[in-house]
Copies of this chain bind each other. A is one copy, B any other.
Amino acid sequence: MDRRQQKTRDAIFKAFSNLIEQKRYGNITVQEIIDEANIGRSTFYAHFETKDDLLKALCTDIFNHVFADELMSEKTHDFSGGNNGLEAKLTHILHHLKDSETNIVGILSSESGELFMRYFKDYLIVIFSKYLNEIKMNAPADFVLNHLVGSFAETVKWWIDNKMIYTPEDTAKYYIEVSCANRITDK
C-alpha cells in the first residue's frame, strides 16, 4: 500500500476515533472528520464511500487485532487460574481490550457504543460457537448462543463503563459463574 494512502487512512481513523469519543456517531459529520484529519474533501471520499463505511473499517481493524490469536489458533492461554478453555480465552480478550493502543475504551463507552457492539458480537459468535457443544442445553441452541454472546458483550460494556475496576481475570470469572456455572458438561 502506498505510504500516502496509509498516512491518510491513519489520519482519518485517528480523527474519527477522537470525534467518536466526544459525540454520538450519528451527530458526527464528514466535514468534522476531514477538518480534524486535516485532509481534502475529495480525499476522504477516495477512501470511504460513506461514514458507515468508515466505522465498519475501523471496527474491523480493531477486532482483527484483538481477536487475532483467538481466531487463528486453538491453543488456550493461561492468564487466569481457570481450568476450562473458554474462561481463559475470554480473559485473554479482556486483556487485549485493556492494553489496546487504540482507545477502545473511549469508543465503546461513548454514545457510539451500540454500533461498535454489533460488530463486536459478530466476532464473539465465532468464539462461543466452538464451545457450544460443551454446554448443557436447557433451551434451544440458538437461544443459548445468542444469550452467551449477548451477555458477554454486556459484561464487557459494563466492565468498561465502570472504569475496569475489576481485573480481566475476575471479570471473566464472574461471567462464567453467572452464565455457565452448572452448565458445563462433564466429559
Contacts and interface: CB of A to CB of B under 8 A. Distances in A.
Given A147-B155, A150-B151, A158-B150, A178 B26 contact: no
A46 interface: no
Interface size class of A (residues with CB under 8 A): 20 to 34
Contact of A151 (B26, B118, B147, B181): B147
B182 A138 contact: no
Q: How many copies of the polypeptide does the oligomer hold? A: 2
B139 A174 contact: yes
Interface in A112-144: 114-115, 117-118, 138-140, 142-144
Contacts of A182: 181-182
Interface of A: 25-26, 114-115, 117-118, 138-140, 142-144, 146-147, 150-151, 154-155, 157-158, 162, 166, 174-175, 177-179, 181-183
